[in-house]
Amino acid sequence: MSQPPSNISAARQNLRRLTNIRHIALGGQIFALYYFTQIYPLGLPIGTISTLIIGFAAINLLTQWRSHWSKTISEMEFGAHLLVDISALTVLLYFSGGATNPFISYYLVPISIAAISLPMAMTWAITALSILAYSALLVYYQPFTQLPTHHGNAGFNLHITGMWINFAISAGLITYFVVRMAAALRMQEAELNTQREEQMQDEQLLAIATLAAGAAHELGTPLNTMKLLIDNLAEELTDPEQQQDVATLNQQIARCRKTLQSLVNAASIIEEGSNPVSVATYIDALLDNWLLIRPDVKPKINIASNSPRINACFHPVVQQSLLNLLNNAAEASPEQVEVTVHWDERCLYIDIRDYGPGISPEQIEKMGRPISSNKPGGLGLGLFLTHSSLNRHGGQVSLLNADGSGLLTSVALPLQTVTNK
C-alpha cells in the first residue's frame, strides 16, 4: 500500500479520504435511486432526490478542491465537513422513508471518522447530532408511497424502535472506545517519533565525539612542537615587547593543551563522581574563563546577590556548553553583551542578551538538530551540541529574538545540590 507523503498534514489526508468515501456513497445513492425508481419502484420523489444528489456531488467537488488548497485545515473545519455529511444524509433520508430506510445506519460512518480523527468533545457533539437526526426521522419523514403503512403494526414499530436503540448504543460505543484507542495510537506514535529523534541525536553526538577525541590526540603533537619552538625563541629574544608577545603565545598554548586534556578526560568522568563546588565560585570561574578567551568582550554582568550559598556538582560538559552560548553572544555583538545570573535551591538561571542580528525562525525550529551557521567559517554544530548536552543534564535552552535587535538566550539548569556543613 502506498504511503501518503510525509509533508501532508493528517487533517489534509483525512479530508481527501473523506472525499473518496463520499464518492463511494454517491455511487451507492445513484444506484439505489435507479433501482428503486426503474426496477422496484417505491414512489420516491425522483426530482427532489436527484437534485439533492447533484448538490451533494458539487459539495464533494468543492471539498476535494479545498483539500489541495494550501491553507491549513483545522480540526474544527474537518468537523464541519462531517456535519455537512450528516445534514445531507438527514435531508436525503427525509425524502426517502426516514428511519424506515435501511441506509440510515450510514450515520455510523461520520461518527467513526470523527472518533478516529477528532478530539473527544467534537466527536461526542457529532454523535449527539447524529442521534438527534435519527430520532427526528422516526417522526418526520415522507414515507414510501407504494408500500403499505405500518404505523398500526406493533411488531413493525417495535422493530424500528429496536433499530434506533441499536444505533444509539453502537454510536456511543464507537465514540467511547474508538476515541480512546485512536488517542492511544497517536500517543504511541508520538513516543516512537521521540525515540527515533533521540536515537538519531545520539548517533550524531557519538560521531561528533569520536571525531573530537581523535582531533584532540592529533593536536597534542603539534602543540608540543610549538611549545618547544616558542621556549627556544624566548631564550634568544631580548626585546621586552617581543618577550611579552612570546609569553602571550605560551599562555594561549597552555590553554589549548588544558582544553584538549579536558576533552580527553571528560569521557571518563561521571556526573556522580564530580566534586561539589560552590555555585557562586563556579559562575565566577566560568565568566573569568570566558573573559580570558574573549578579551575583546566588554560585557555587563549582573549576578544576583540574594542567591543562596549552596554547593552543587557540575558535569564538565556543562561548562563548555555555557561557554558556547557566551561565545555566540560575543561574536554577535562584542561591545554589547548582558549576562544575568541567579539561582535557587533547585535550579540555575542564566540569561544572555546580545545586540546582533538575532536568529531566524527556521533556526529556532531546528535548534535540536545541526543547523547552518551564519558565521564565517562556522560549522553549525555549536548550538546543536550545546542544546543536546544541556538537555541530557536536565537543562533547557530557549532562544527569543529581543525587541529591536539581538537575541535573548535563557538557560535553566537543575542543580545537584550538596548540603553545606
* Percentage, residues of the chain above pLDDT 70: 76
Q: CA 352 → CA 339, 341, 402, distances in Å?
A: 5, 9, 11
Task: Check: pTM over 0.85? Answer yes or no.
Answer: no
CA 271, 273, 276, 280 torsion-angle sign: negative
Q: Which residue has the higher pLDDT, 213 or 391?
A: 391
Residues 6+ apart with CB under 8 A from 382: 324, 327, 328, 373
Report the pLDDT averaged over residues 139-164: 64
Rounded distance, CA 37 to CA 144, Å? Answer: 11
pLDDT tens, position by position, 71-116: 888 889 989 999 999 999 899 989 888 888 878 888 888 888 888 8
Name the band, by pLDDT with cuts 50, 70 and 90, for residue 410. very high
Name the band, by pLDDT with cuts 50, 70 and 90, for residue 129. very high
* pLDDT at residue 2 in the model: 42
Q: CA 204 → CA 27, 305, 388, distances in Å?
A: 53, 40, 10
* pLDDT at residue 338 in the model: 92
For residue 420, pLDDT over 60 is answered with no
Domain ranges in the chain are 10-147, 200-266, 272-418
Domain 272-418 top-level CATH class: alpha beta
pLDDT tens, position by position, 159-215: 566 577 767 777 776 777 676 667 766 777 777 777 777 777 666 666 666 566 656
Taking each helix axis from N to C end, the angle separating 179-236 and 382-392, rounded to the nearest 10 degrees, works out to 120
